[in-house]
Structure 1
């Protein structure tokens, strides 16, 4: 078995702590969404369309940090359930835009009250200052060393 130095051990412990935290937070935030038969990605797409309007599939992939293959399945399932619709862009007929339907709006309105309460219950263990600091630290970690040098 390899002996790790102190820095390597801190990195390993941070990874385990971050993974456990993510799992714990998700289990408290997403139950209502799963109860309504949505995946986290489906919810992310509906939430994006609800708050920001129409997007093409490429933009949805970028904004939800999903892969193309996954997003095709997600969009097809949401279309099948009648939560979203596709339509040609008025400006560029080559482009297909995806938007939320009234059925999707109704579902999201139903879910969001509980979701917001779950967020409050989960994140209110932190002060506002701690939330700001943690947000900045997670952004820094997410960007990585390469982006830091730019």
Structure 2
């Protein structure tokens, strides 16, 4: 594709992306279980759910945030009783983070709400639209090299 065409599409994507992201967010998320939960906190909980018990350093890499930011985030999740921290018995400097039962319940509730919310969005599309949307989204979640980013660096 030529640069002029690419710029046109970049502009259109830039226009619709904020609304698209907003539309895919679960509206009930901030007030689940009577407590405030932010999107970064949800992403941390979801990542711990997928990874299982992990160290703060691992979590920071998975979230793409620096260790200090993740440490503060984990501290807030501990105060809300969503996660627990546990020192490694062999190396006391290492701290593992894992979900509490409340954290697991929150993730299940959010996932249920998220699936209902996304189902409502997809109901407005044809089956072909959904298939194409998923194919494009999967293609766009590839590595930077797969997306051609390496060529521009």
TM-score bracket relative to the smaller structure: 0.7 to 0.9
TM-score, normalisation: structure 2: 0.74
How far, CA to CA, are the matches of 2:97 and 2:138 in structure 1?
A: 30
**Which residue is equivalent to 1:103?**
102
Deviations 1:92-118 (Å, cap 9, x if unpaired)?
Answer: 443111001112122223332222222
Gaps of 5+ in 2: none
The question of 1:35 aligning with 2:35 is answered: no
**Higher RCO by CA contacts (8 Å cutoff, separation 6 or greater):** 1
**Which residue is equivalent to 2:50?**
51
Deviations 1:68-101 (Å, cap 9, x if unpaired)?
Answer: 3432332111011111111122454431110011
Partner secondary structure for residue 65 of structure 2: coil
The one of 109, 133, 149 equivalent to 1:130 is 133
More helix by share: 1
Bigger mean CA deviation after superposition, 117-126 or 57-66: 117-126
Give the root-mean-square deviation of aligned CA atoms.
Answer: 2.9
TM-score, normalisation: structure 1: 0.75
Residues 15, 51 of structure 1: alpha-carbon distance in 2 compared, 3 angstrom cutoff: same
How far, CA to CA, are the matches of 2:37 and 2:86 in structure 1?
A: 23
Gaps of 5+ in 1: none
Task: After the TM superposition, list the runs of 4 or more consecutive aligned residues in structure 1 that deviate by more than 6 angstroms.
Answer: 140-143
